[in-house]
Amino acid sequence: MKMNRRSVLGAIGVVGVGTGAAFGSGAFSSTTAQRAVEVNVFGADLGDSGTTGVVSGLTSEEETTLAGNITANFVDVLVDASSDTVDIYNEAGDSRESTDGTDIFPENPNSTETYSGIGSSYVSLVANDVTIVFGDDNGLPPNSTVSYDELFAFVENDTTSYDVTFGDTNGGSILSSVDGSDVSSGSTVEVSSSSSSPVNAEVETGTSGNSREALDIRIEETPSP
């Protein structure tokens, strides 16, 4: 099974997602604006196979096993790449892996009960080491807020609720809002077996041709009331 640096092991307390990448050069216009977020997952022993960072070409059995391992230990966080202004690159950000995410895990989400109901264009941010590029082929307008419906989806653990927090001390200049809350101050989505709906997000294009941000995504058990 081709895993990149992501074999899911044991129970996990906190997963941190660091970001920091940007693309685009030359004049900043409505057709060339690009913003990118490089996603790296920390907090579990994921290994390093030295591959491109994308899990693809799995059999249905392998895909089901990986999906079960992820959700047995925590939750999965996925991004929707179906929009014309959302593209997926490898972790280095220097070559495209998919325009719509359909050839990246989960390649066949509805073939396993674990991912039942997840659209085929959603890409796992836990299983894959990828960069999300906003406005590559279809540029974003400068100095604007671009809204994405159901940009992030979650696949929950059956018995434990988790808080997925976008931002906090870092981030918010590119991915500015998730589920109606500011990323710069921490936008937390509670994911549980009774509440795991996809959430909307907003991207700020800014006024410069290139932009960088550091973003943390933390996954931790929801505190008991």
pLDDT band (50, 70, 90) for residue 149 = very high
pLDDT average, residue stretch 170-178: 79
pLDDT average, residue stretch 126-134: 83
Neighbours of 173 (CB within 10 A): 18
Q: Which residues contact 82 (CB under 8 A, 6 or more apart)?
A: 100, 101, 119, 121
CB 66 within 8 A of CB 79: no
Phi then psi for residue 113, to 5 deg, are -60, -30
Neighbours of 36 (CB within 10 A): 24
Neighbours of 159 (CB within 10 A): 8
Query: Per-residue pLDDT tens for 49-106?
Result: 444 578 888 888 888 888 888 888 888 999 999 998 888 887 666 666 677 888 889 9
pTM, two decimal places:
0.81
Angle made by CA atoms 189, 142, 171, in degrees to the nearest 5: 35
Tell me, what's the pLDDT at 28?
Answer: 40
pLDDT band (50, 70, 90) for residue 209 = low
Name the residue with higher pLDDT: 171 or 19.
171
Which residues in 25-95 belong to E strands, given as ranges? 35-38, 40-42, 76-80, 86-90
In the chain, domain spans: 15-221
